Amino acid sequence: MDRDGTLTDEVGYVNHPSRLRLLPRSGAAVRRLNQAGIAVVVVTNQAGIARGYFSPEVLAAVNATLVSQLKDEGAHLDGVYVCPHHPTEGEAPYRLVCDCRKPKPGLLLRAASDLGLDLGRSTLVGDKGSDLVTARAVGARSVLVLTGYGLGEWEYRRAHFDVQPDHVARDLLDAVEWALARRSLA
Ligand SMILES: [Mg+2]
Ligand SMILES: [Zn+2]
């Protein structure tokens, strides 16, 4: 799953742990996957690092806050994968045409390799059309949530999506319920 706008509130660049807030039903969504024995992996573009808006240390503190807030709700992540790059902004080493900035699939491929995931049986949940492209690139299903940028993306931009979602969900918990139902049908 994507982080900003999907798991947490979309507030622009999260340059301090105090700006990170779980969306209301995110804890329940992750807990549901934990209980079902399904790996939960966050894949997030954080070009604020390349742009110099915040340091890798701040990003680590923000993601530690995410883990801690989820723990308070009895939920845990199996992995957090970050692209800190931007192709044209900032300075080396983060100014880079990388293979991991979504919609490129590098973060998903790395997670699959580290955790032994079958991406063809996985579902990517995100709040942007570009997240759907990332899913398609690895043969995963995709769900667009209407949180974050999702409602605007779906109402105003869907005719321009390169990839249409397999499902549109109100939020992450609804996306998880859909994915779990699909899984038991398969
Ligand atoms: Mg997002
Ligand atoms: Zn990258």
Residues 75 and 68: their CA atoms lie apart, in Å, by 9
Question: Does the structure show a pLDDT above 70 at 116?
Answer: yes
Count Cα neighbours of 99 within 13 Å in the Cβ-side half-sphere.
Answer: 5
pTM: 0.96
- The predicted-structure confidence for 57-70, as pLDDT tens digits, reads as follows 999 999 999 999 99
Ligand nearest to the CA of 103: 2
- Alpha helices, DSSP H, located in the chain: 26-36, 56-72, 106-115, 129-137, 150-152, 172-185
Q: Of all residues in the chain, what percent carry a pLDDT higher than 90?
A: 97
| Phi, psi (degrees; rounded to nearest 5) at 9 | -60, 135
Ligand 1 centroid from CA 44, angstroms: 8
Catalytic residue numbers read 2, 4
Ligand 1 centroid from CA 93, angstroms: 24
Question: Does the structure show a pLDDT above 80 at 133?
Answer: yes
Ligand 2 centroid from CA 134, angstroms: 13
